[in-house]
């Protein structure tokens, strides 16, 4: 596999490639089509938020192999408010007062295992606003998944474990770390 090209996307770039982005999302998460279709409106709305940043990984023909995006997390946003309710009161200021929310980071399964997730993570978070970065990822037995290995290898720590979001039966972990990414 030749090395994919990493590109920084504007909000318009991401929305303009939404069909491809959603196809990567569906393949990476193994989600049913109705759930994936519902993400279309969320992603479009997210692209208008303060601090929005996006990256894509393209193959030689320009097809999307992976993507990531996020924005500044604020009170009144659904995910922020759900997480705020789950974080211990004494930790809320540390984790939510100046946080960049890494919303999505996905690599199509055929391109996984070649360092593309690391390139996307670094490309997205290099220069990202905020003092800390937060994300949610599905809990997996013994943290054995490529996503967990990626986040742990970049210094992400537990903020909340076994969190349940409304509308999803699976438990999630909220992970976080300080920014910039180059600091431990």
In tens digits, the chain (184 residues) has pLDDT values of 579 999 999 999 999 999 999 999 999 988 888 888 889 999 999 999 999 999 999 999 999 999 999 999 999 999 999 999 999 999 999 999 999 999 999 999 999 999 999 999 999 999 999 999 999 999 998 888 899 999 999 999 999 999 999 988 889 999 999 999 885 5
CATH number at residue 113: 3.40.630.30
Distance CA 14, CA 17 (A): 5
Q: State which residues form the domain around 158.
A: 5-178
Distance CA 14, CA 20 (A): 9
pTM of the model: 0.94
Enzyme catalytic residues: 151
Distance CA 19, CA 166 (A): 26
Residues 6+ apart with CB under 8 A from 138: 170, 171, 172, 173
Question: Is residue 184 a part of any domain in this protein?
Answer: no
Question: Is residue 50 a part of any domain in this protein?
Answer: yes
């Amino acid at each position: 596999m030749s090395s994919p090209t990493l590109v920084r996307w504007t909000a318009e770039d991401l929305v303009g490639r939404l069909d491809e982005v959603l196809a990567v999302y569906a393949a990476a998460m193994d989600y049913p089509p109705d759930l994936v279709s519902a993400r279309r409106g969320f992603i479009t709305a997210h692209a208008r938020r303060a601090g929005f940043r996006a990256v894509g990984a393209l193959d030689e023909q320009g097809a999307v192999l992976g993507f990531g995006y996020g924005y500044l997390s604020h009170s009144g946003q659904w995910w922020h408010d759900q997480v705020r309710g789950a974080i211990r009161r004494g930790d809320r200021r540390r984790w939510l007062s100046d946080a960049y929310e890494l919303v999505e980071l996905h690599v199509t399964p055929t391109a996984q295992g070649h360092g593309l997730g690391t390139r996307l993570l670094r490309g997205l978070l290099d220069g990202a606003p905020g003092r800390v970065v937060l994300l949610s990822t599905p809990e997996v037995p013994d943290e054995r998944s490529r996503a967990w290995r990626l986040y742990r290898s970049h210094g992400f720590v537990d903020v909340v474990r076994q969190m349940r979001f409304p509308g999803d039966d699976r438990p999630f972990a909220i992970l976080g770390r300080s920014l910039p990414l180059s600091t431990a």
